[in-house]
Amino acid sequence: MKTNRFSRRVAVAAGLLFLFAVPWPARSQSASPGEPQTPMAALPGPQPQMDSLAEAFAGLKYTDDQKVEIDKIHRDAETRKAAVSKDEKLTQDQKDAMLLGYTHLEYSSIFKTLTPEQRRQVRDKIRARKAADQPAQKEQAPQS
Asked whether the beta carbons of 7 and 87 are under 8 A apart, the reply is: no
Res. 34: pLDDT tops 80: no
> pTM of the full predicted structure?
0.58
Q: How confident is the model at residue 36 (pLDDT cuts 50, 70, 90)?
A: very low
Integer Cα distance of 73 and 79 in angstroms = 10
Q: How confident is the model at residue 135 (pLDDT cuts 50, 70, 90)?
A: confident
Other C-beta atoms lying within 10 Å of the C-beta of residue 122: 20
Q: How confident is the model at residue 44 (pLDDT cuts 50, 70, 90)?
A: very low
| Angle, helices 116-143/50-57, rounded to nearest 10 degrees | 150
Percent of the chain with pLDDT over 90: 44
- Locate all alpha helices (DSSP H) within 1-144, ordered by sequence: 2-21, 24-28, 50-57, 64-86, 92-113, 116-143
Per-residue confidence (pLDDT) for residue 35, from 0 to 100 = 45
Amino acid at 20: F
For the residues 58-82, what does the mean pLDDT come to? 93
Q: How confident is the model at residue 117 (pLDDT cuts 50, 70, 90)?
A: very high
Res. 92: pLDDT tops 70: yes
Q: Poorest-confidence range of 8-17, 103-112, 115-124?
A: 8-17
